[in-house]
């Protein structure tokens, strides 16, 4: 009688052990599946992140390219509105504005996080300031003297003015170098040497040092002015009207040299003697005829 309860209790304990083992195995399998799922998700997220980062880099390159084109176009437009002065001919205030515009334009191009308008608005403000100053300089001599300065005489009647050298912070070596570049190694041959507002040195020689011209010897010579008619296959209509050359006349002369189209002409001009000179593309220059 005692063996039956012990047997049943052992069976119950074995069954409970099996159940616990099954539960643990189920939990372990769920954990493994969950871990595999998490690994797959992490792997997918890494792939998505890599693709997103790659797309982000490409997008950044495109944005930088577009921003650069926009800023370049704006700077070119602003410089065209400011005028056609060369760098060496800029007045001090124009030179400062040009430097500031270049610095402001580089900021939005280098960092895409900076809004584009933070560079455009200051550039347009400097343009407005430059136009106002230029207009005021044209109207007022005092304002012109304040912003542009005044020309300074450095040499007068062969004598160097030391006080003006000190005032302009211009060394004697700089002055002598500038005179030599102008073709006046001897200071005594200079009647006036004026330091202009743009830093250029203007030299007026004495009458004894001036070169003899054709007019002094009553020699008449043909004009050496050259007027372009066609450059790189493009017709310059303004120059045609200036010289009163008809299109029919030009085309007839081109036909005589074996050219049927203006696009076949590399360079065509009228020299000082009144001759039309044409150069074919890939050919040597040939005189066509003297223009009537």
**What are the structure tokens assigned to 219, written together?**
């020699």
Instruction: Give 291's pLDDT tier (boundaries 50, 70, 90).
Output: very low
- From 3.40.50.2300, 3.90.1660.10, 2.130.10.10, 3.30.240.20, which CATH number describes the 156-205 domain? 3.30.240.20
Handedness of CA 174, 177, 178, 179 (dihedral sign): positive
Q: Return the pLDDT at 1.
A: 45
Nearest to 258 by CA among 237, 281, 239: 281
pLDDT tens, position by position, 100-114: 888 888 888 777 777
Higher pLDDT, 185 or 272: 185
Cite the residue boundaries of each domain of the chain with CATH code 3.30.240.20: 156-205, 227-290
Q: How confident is the model at residue 175 (pLDDT cuts 50, 70, 90)?
A: very high
At residue 2, does pLDDT exceed 50?
Answer: no
Condensed to tens digits (0 to 9), the pLDDT of residues 42-86 reads 666 666 556 655 555 556 677 778 888 888 888 888 888 877 665
**Residue 258 vs residue 31, higher pLDDT:** 258
Look up the CATH number of domain 227-290. 3.30.240.20
Q: Give the closest residue to 183 by CA, choosing from 162, 210, 156.
A: 210
- Structure-token match 């690994």, residue found: 39
pLDDT at 194: 92
Strands (DSSP E) contained in the chain are 152-156, 159-160, 190-195, 201-205, 227-231, 234-235, 265-270, 275-280, 285-290
Residue 287 has pLDDT above 50, yes or no: no
**pLDDT single digits (tens) 105-140:** 888 877 777 788 888 888 888 889 888 888 888 888
Distances (CA, A) of 26 to 38, 40, 75, 120, 148: 18, 21, 71, 66, 91
Residue 235, beta-bridge partner list: 230
Read off the pLDDT of each residue in 195-201 and give the average, rounded to a whole number: 85
């Amino acid at each position: 009688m005692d063996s039956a309860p012990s047997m049943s209790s052992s069976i119950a304990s074995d069954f409970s052990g099996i159940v616990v083992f099954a539960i643990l195995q189920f939990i372990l399998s769920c954990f493994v599946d969950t871990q595999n799922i998490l690994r797959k998700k992490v792997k997918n997220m890494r792939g998505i992140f890599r693709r997103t980062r790659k797309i982000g880099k490409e997008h950044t390159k495109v944005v930088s390219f577009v921003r650069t084109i926009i800023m370049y176009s704006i700077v070119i437009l602003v410089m065209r509105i400011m005028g056609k002065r060369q760098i060496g001919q800029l007045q001090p205030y124009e030179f400062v504005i040009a430097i500031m515009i270049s610095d402001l334009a580089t900021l939005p191009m280098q960092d895409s996080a900076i809004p584009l308008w933070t560079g455009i608005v200051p550039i347009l403000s400097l343009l407005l300031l430059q136009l106002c100053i230029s207009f005021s300089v044209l109207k007022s001599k005092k304002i012109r003297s304040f912003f542009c300065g005044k020309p300074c005489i450095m040499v007068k009647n062969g004598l160097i003015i030391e006080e003006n050298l000190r005032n302009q912070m211009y060394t004697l070596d700089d002055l002598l170098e500038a005179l030599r570049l102008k073709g006046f190694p001897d200071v005594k041959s200079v009647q006036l040497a004026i330091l202009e507002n743009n830093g250029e040195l203007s030299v007026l020689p004495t009458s004894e040092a001036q070169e003899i011209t054709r007019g002094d010897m009553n020699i008449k010579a043909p004009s050496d002015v050259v007027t372009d008619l066609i450059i790189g296959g493009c017709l310059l209509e303004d120059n045609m009207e200036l010289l009163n050359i008809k299109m029919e006349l030009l085309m007839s002369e081109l036909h005589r040299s074996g050219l049927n189209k203006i696009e076949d002409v590399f360079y065509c001009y009228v020299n000082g003697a009144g001759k039309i000179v044409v150069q074919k593309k890939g050919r040597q220059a040939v005189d066509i005829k003297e223009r009537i």
